[in-house]
Structure 1
């Protein structure tokens, strides 16, 4: 990859008045407040557990902590808005109080959850549905003026695998982002991050094709988030379990970095920070 390939890309996001630099790729640590997330080691049962994991992630080099209280694995159980907030708000408040340096991203597709989370101290909204499951989301993000992670998905977590059909997945994902970004820009949203949504309404073949073509998303000149950590596209292909998929995750994260990813969303922060350091050293060896 030529070092100047992505020079026009937006390399900062404004987090409550503080500019975060994405010119060098960064890591987002996954903090699950759900009892049924696909990777059991990421589940946090108590607020104290969440605090301890957040502190560990920060010490290992995470730039963001992504907190989710609604499992988005295929066929996941429905969670009410009230239950999602009941899981989220105490953890956001506790982290904000004890670890104020932590930049908190909230993994939600609900506008009410987004608003109340930001009011409680969160900084970024990570929406797997890109506004598709709550028509109030885009206007809420515009009002909150927080960075917004826009992911490609069709359907919902309960139905998405029924929609894994494309005539040209690269073109369809690009068209999807183009239309969504245009609406957000018209509303005045300034900081947008895009995520191709590996495994969401996609077969493993679709996900590998998107990873192979990841640099095509640089047309938007926006930061790209890659979330492949311990996913079935790795462990099913290799015939292993999610618990055994760290090595495969690191391989795919390396490919994502070489193809322009700015953020790696992972369960294993230390491994991802080392991956970034080695890729950066290779690309800037002189």
Structure 2
């Protein structure tokens, strides 16, 4: 193993990093505001079927997101997000083995806490996936530290999906990592996300290809990368 290799073990279950094969994350979209309606699971049967198919196809993590972050989408309250997230999570928790980790796509501590409570009820493990780089809800940092919960942080300057150069991606991720470390958070619980995808008009496929082609630059942060 190279001295500079990047390897972590989430919840002492899932090994991720240079010494292991890439991990597949399945995405369970619960937001009807999403531009691609074919990705939205709005009933129990569809959600259960998608969950089982993703696991069958090799997914080791399942990401549940109940809020669209596209700038043109309707904004919803934390209560609305909860009302979508918790019933879906209940269904998923009942239908997955213990070694599958649930990624909770949220920017809010209230959502994180209630999904953690449900995960504990079913003896499942979660990771928080915050597309705001922990900027939307400052108290989420304390939640992560107090509960020793792993986190995926997506690069953003002010709002999720804003346009960042490669150096800005590295800089924003580094700032958040340092803030967590300063508060005693175990940095081996951190996964980074450069934030590719059509979040805004300026983020074209050419932008995405440039970031993907330079993912190796993110290795300076010494963290596993989610794309």
The C-alpha deviation readout for 1:65-116, integer Å capped at 9, x for no partner, is 1000001223221111111111111221222123233321011111111111
The C-alpha deviation readout for 1:120-139, integer Å capped at 9, x for no partner, is 11511000001111111111
| 1:95 and 2:92 correspond | yes
Q: Look up the SS of the partner of 2:59 in the other structure.
A: coil
Q: 1:86 aligns with which of 83, 88, 91?
A: 83
| 1:225 and 2:226 correspond | yes
Q: Look up the SS of the partner of 2:76 in the other structure.
A: coil
Give runs of ≥4 in structure 1 deviating > 4 Å: none
TM-score (norm 1): 0.69
CA radius of gyration, larger in: 1
Structure 1 gap segments, 5+ residues each: 227-286
Q: 2:153 aligns with which of 128, 135, 150?
A: 150
Q: 1:176 aligns with which of 163, 172, 184?
A: 172
More contact order relative to length (CA 8 Å, sep ≥ 6)? 1
Q: Look up the SS of the partner of 1:41 in the other structure.
A: helix
RMSD: 2.1
CA shift at 1:19, angstroms? 4.0
* Cα separation, 2, equivalents of 1:51 and 1:25: 24
| 1:37 and 2:38 correspond | no
Structure 2 gap segments, 5+ residues each: 120-124
| 1:72 and 2:73 correspond | no
CA shift at 1:48, angstroms? 2.7
Instruction: Give the number of the structure whose residues are more often helix, by fraction.
Output: 1
CA shift at 1:218, angstroms? 0.5
Q: 2:45 aligns with which of 38, 44, 48?
A: 48
| 1:11 and 2:7 correspond | yes
* Cα separation, 1, equivalents of 2:158 and 2:48: 33
Aligned to 1:210: 211
Q: 1:196 aligns with which of 194, 199, 221?
A: 194
Give the number of equivalent residue pairs. 214
The C-alpha deviation readout for 1:4-61, integer Å capped at 9, x for no partner, is 8x7623322322x434344211111110011121222210011332121111100010
